[in-house]
Structure 1
Amino acid sequence: MKVEVDQTKCGTIGICVKECPEIFRFQEGSKKAVALMEEVPPQWRDKCREAARKCPNGAILITE
């Protein structure tokens, strides 16, 4: 599973950072989120999917 954050859609709300801090962080100098890794390890996939589901702007893109 791969994940990325669409920077044009990210609304700096931070739900992903709270839901799955193992994968998402705020960019330094910005409140937009970024994925720390492209390939999501199996143990964090459910949390990552939940973060994507909760993102109000649909900024988290997941490919299986």
Structure 2
Amino acid sequence: MKIRIDHERCRGAGQCALHAPELFDQSDDDGTVVLLDAEPPPELEDSARLAAALCPNSVITIIES
């Protein structure tokens, strides 16, 4: 799995950081998403999918291997 972020569309809702803090954080400057691990280990893949599904701006793309 690979995770891609569309930073241009992020509005800083924070659902990703809330539901998958091992993979996502928020910028101290503007609150937008910070990707911590673009290729998560298998045990975090479900968290990545949940974060992508809950993102109100659909900025997280999951690329399945």
The sequence identity of aligned pairs, in percent, is 38
Superposition map of 1:10-29 within 5 A: 10-29=10-29
Q: Deviation above 3 Å: which 4+ runs of structure 1?
A: none
Shift of 1:59: 0.4
CA contact (8 A) 1:23 1:35 kept: yes
Q: How high is the TM-score relative to the length of structure 2?
A: 0.90
Query: Which amino acid in 1 is paired with 2:39?
Result: E
Q: How high is the TM-score relative to the length of structure 1?
A: 0.91
Query: Which amino acid in 1 is paired with 2:6?
Result: D
Corresponding residue for residue 46 of structure 1:
46
Specify every segment of 5 or more residues in structure 2 that has no aligned partner in the other structure, as ranges. none
Specify every segment of 5 or more residues in structure 1 that has no aligned partner in the other structure, as ranges. none
